[in-house]
Chains A and B, each alone.
Chain A
């Protein structure tokens, strides 16, 4: 008993210390032990480590990736259309293809990717801990996520690859595309934890004057199972995820076509989805940004993976990106033909979109994901 008390006191002392000294600067003479000039120092410490963890922090992510030879990409792994884990461990989908695009640009090989499926709850910690290089996991760009300092998640975002919005899904027998908070009052919703989804739906319900119960699960497929079993009355997440799951289930014959309805037509929140990376690494961040822009520009110019060899010089901007000496690419730390390889191996924005999302009845026309000159928001700055 005394011993337990002693331990409790020790923990309280730790709490007191933690409350006090978060920003003290310590005497760092002992950190010399941490940075050694022998790369084997770190690998020896890892039980099953392998030879891939031996870089010091100064090189930055680009150097680490190039030295390692593979890109570590965090994805969802269980979202139809965006990233679905295959039996052999790779993933297919919109997000997965963007991982491949980055790998093709940085390493020249679209298949040099290690996919790491992550739950929404752990994705940011894994990114910040350095275990993945980039997070392409239908993550919404919000202010709190961008913010540094207390209360922020402190990560940075690449340009939006998919403009989405949060919606709800329920049985079409009691909801329609125009249903609103009043129709949802008293319901129990299921969604996945640790996402903006929780915050959005809570706010939406509060403002609309509806009282709801919220059940949070770790992965969206669980939420869907609960909905099918009748444990919740509704599910909510990004509209693309809802439509993708709905169409998949209709295809497999699990539900009748039209049995579920996604509402409201105007989403309850803005969900611009895009890749995310660690703060304070502008070199890496610029690369990811321009990978996204290059795919958009390729689509704008009509350059596809099939015709890139002929079309790469269709105009000077295309030449700068896909042909020629590629000085801008080398200035960023990439190979001159980085974006050429990327489009050739993976495709442009339209190809990636069509390949993964069209089979799920998600199309670009008429949505925010249409090109800017067709009324959408897919727009890239000029490459010069």
Chain B
């Protein structure tokens, strides 16, 4: 007898859709459902109205000098970066956007979402645009433009949901297309919105109109088009290259993007010692590959380990004896790779070939970084450092987090280690660094840190600050990773031991991947926190966006007089921070959903 499969329908499909509530019913349900609720509603309305009136009154008052922000936008973004070298920054942005387009193609292509969600998000964006346009001090034509766009968005968003109705359940909407359209609208707005700028010849209070982004609307448009082009390029490449290889290449490119942009492009490095370094690099790559190939073969056994240990001793000796830094680094790397050979590459030939490939890659990167470090900076500014403004904020945040990552993982491993001295030292470091506020550490970096080095050796202020931000962040990161490490079930460790894996193999291949995966949301939270904490460098004299907004813009008297525009500057700085932090936290929420944290 054939079995009939019984398919139970989902409960939701059985129940009829409740009829959409009218606005009156909705208000009764959500605002006035009880006496206390009514009181709260009225109270809330009062607070909201007072607040909005206060804010709008403040923003639209006549004495506000919003031109201070628009005229000084360049100062806020990159401070004293020389005008003639601006192309470098645009190129850097271009690199980022190209990588963004390619990454979208490889990771998100074809991403679809429910029309209802998208519709609501679009309507919300439209509402936001309308609110901003009404509240912000734009000129009439900008207001009109904004209202039109906002209105269209709201109608499109809400309307799409209503219109599709039943079909809304099965249909899907390409998210990227909608994002591209919205971005295009934003770029168009750059061309069309006009804001008052102060008249250089006129007196106080006179102003004329100019585009919000006269010099930058062109480059932004180009960047927009470049992003779209690179997205399609990425789609094309995805068909040609295997996906994994492509993703790996993109990850490497993203990792290298930061040092390339900050150390190479923005500083305008002119390389020195190229010939010498290249020769050393090639020599080490060739000879090193042979050595590693030889030592990584597990057939070498004890002898191999012994030789690797000998290499390590030579490497350490080279640091005591005087030698080129590059040679010392190369020797150290070679020793580490040799020691790690049997652990990571013992086995088949293919693994060993890949391992040697990684070695060559490491040599290339090291030589490149050394060339960057010893190169001469072509971009000169007259106040000592090339980086300032919002640019500096990003550099401090990304550099600090990137540097803190390896430190944090090592500290976490140390803190959960079975070896008591490692545990003790890690604990002392973590508790000491976490127990003291960041501003104190920044003051230490300015006041105490330079004493530790001979006169004449001075790190530029951003370097010192990045270093100490990294130290600080590493302690917090270590606690997060430790949480992840402790969440791994003991069975994993036991299974790894049963299979005969060494501690190093177990840590790198089994423990760390699981731990890091579990703490990614906490890590993103850490990134957000560090991004906000970079504002503290204003206290130690670095010209980040907050210091420019607080100290420089409100004291400007030439060529325009912006005295007394402190509150406007602070509001603008707050808005900048808010936008990006908000985006980060949305990304964090999405990451949590994707990784299924808390559900498995």
Contacting chain B: which of A87-95, A181-189, A338-346?
A87-95
Q: Does A151 contact B (CB under 8 A)?
A: no
A95 nearest CB across to chain B (Å): 14
Of the candidate stretches A248-256, A293-301, A314-322, A327-335, the one touching chain B is: A248-256
The answer to whether residues A221 and B551 also contact, given A53-B456, A88-B382, A89-B381 and a CB cut-off of 8 A, is yes
| B142 close to chain A: CB less than 8 A | no
Contacts of A290 in B (CB 8 A): none
Q: A50 near B377 (CB under 8 angstroms)? A: yes
Binary flags per residue of B360-382, CB closer than 8 Å to A gives 1, else 0? 00000000001001111100111
Contact: A47 with B463, CB < 8 Å?
yes
Most-contacted residue by chain A among B324, B424, B455, B461 (CB, 10 A): B455
Residues of B contacting A35 in the complex (Cβ-Cβ under 8 angstroms): 454
Answer whether residue B435 sits at the interface, using C-beta atoms and an 8 A cutoff.
yes
Complex alpha-carbon distance, A50 and B561, angstroms:
36
- Say if the beta carbon of A150 comes within 8 Å of chain B: no
Contacts of B566 in A (CB 8 A): 225
A334 to B245, CA, bound (A): 61
Which of the residues A48, A50, A129, A225 comes within 8 Å of B451, measured between beta carbons? A129
Chain B hits for A307, CB < 8 A: none
Contacts known (A6-B427, A87-B75, A88-B382); A51 close to B454, Cβ less than 8 A: no
Of the listed residues A6, A36, A54, A88, the one surrounded by the most CB atoms of chain B closer than 10 A to its CB is A88
Distance (whole angstroms) from the CB of B328 to the closest CB of chain A: 9
A4 in contact with B431 (CB, 8 Å): yes
Interchain CB contact under 8 A, B373 and A40: yes
Chain A residues closer than 8 Å to B395, beta-carbon distance: 48
* A6-B428, A56-B454, A125-B447 known; A44-B383 Cβ under 8 A: no
Docked-complex contact B383 and A116, CB < 8 angstroms? yes
B322 near A130: Cβ-Cβ < 8 Å: no
Given A48-B462, A114-B383, verify A57-B456 contact (CB < 8 Å): yes
Binds A, one of B179-187, B249-257, B348-356, B552-560: B552-560
A85-105 vs B, Cβ < 8 Å mask (1 yes, 0 no): 111111000000000000000
A7 pairs with B373, CB closer than 8 A? no
- On chain B, the number of residues with a Cβ less than 8 Å from chain A's Cβ atoms is 70
Q: Produce 1/0 per residue, A40-82, CB < 8 A to B.
A: 1111111111111111110100001000001010000010100
**Residue B319 interfacial (CB < 8 Å):** yes
On chain B, the residues within 8 Å of A55 by CB distance are 456
Can you name the residue of chain A whose Cβ is closest to the Cβ of B470?
A47
Pair B267/A48 contact, Cβ less than 8 Å? yes
Residue of A nearest to B273 (CB): A40
Chain B contacts of A3 at CB under 8 A?
Answer: 427-428, 431
Q: Are A47 and B466 in contact (CB under 8 A)?
A: yes
Interface bits B453-475 vs A (CB < 8 Å: 1, else 0): 11111111111001100000000
Question: How far does the alpha carbon of A116 sit from the alpha carbon of B462 in the complex, in Å?
Answer: 14
A325 within 8 A of B: no
Contact B460 A44 (CB under 8 A): no
Q: Does B274 interact with chain A (Cβ within 8 Å)? A: no
**With A37-B322, A122-B541: A53-B457 Cβ-Cβ less than 8 Å:** yes
CB distance from A96 to the nearest CB of B (A): 11
Known: A42-B457, A48-B267, A72-B384. A89 touches B79 (CB 8 A): yes
Whole-angstrom CA separation of A72 from B431 in the bound complex: 38
User: CA of A42 to CA of B552 in the docked complex: distance in angstroms?
Assistant: 33
State whether the Cβ of B260 lies closer than 8 Å to any Cβ in chain A: no
* A253 to B563 CA separation, bound complex (whole angstroms): 11
Partner of A88, one of B80, B387, B557: B80
The one of B262, B324, B380, B459 that contacts A40, using a Cβ cutoff of 8 Å: B324
Judge whether A33 and B319 touch: CB under 8 Å: yes
A286 contacts chain B at the CB level, 8 A cutoff: no
Tell me, rounded to whole Å, the shortest Cβ–Cβ distance linking A7 to chain B: 4
Bitwise, B194-234 to A at CB < 8 A (1) or not (0) is 00000000001000000000000000000000000000000
B320: Cβ under 8 A from any A Cβ: yes
**What are the interface flags for A211-247 relative to B under an 8 Å C-beta threshold, 1 for contact and 0 otherwise?**
0000000110100010000000000000000000000
Chain B window 382-425, contacts with chain A (Cβ cutoff 8 Å), 1 for yes, 0 for no: 11111100000001000100000000000000000000000010
Q: Which residue of B lies closest to A39 (CB)?
A: B374
Closest Cβ–Cβ distance, residue B156 to chain A (whole Å) = 42
**A46 touching B541 by the CB < 8 A rule?**
no
Q: Is B446 at the interface (CB under 8 A from chain A)?
A: yes
Instruction: Name 11 A/B residue pairs within 8 A (Cβ), A-sorted.
Output: A48-B385, A52-B377, A53-B456, A53-B458, A56-B454, A86-B558, A114-B381, A129-B458, A130-B458, A221-B555, A225-B554
Q: A7-B432, A50-B376, A50-B377 are in contact. List 6 more A-B contacts (CB 8 A).
A: A3-B427, A47-B466, A51-B374, A51-B377, A57-B454, A86-B558
Q: Which residues of A contact B (CB under 8 A)?
A: 3-4, 6-7, 10-11, 33-38, 40-57, 59, 64, 70, 72, 78, 80, 84-90, 113-119, 122, 125-126, 129-131, 218-219, 221, 225, 248-249, 252-254
7 nearest A-B residue pairs (beta carbon): A89-B80, A129-B450, A57-B455, A47-B463, A55-B456, A50-B377, A89-B383
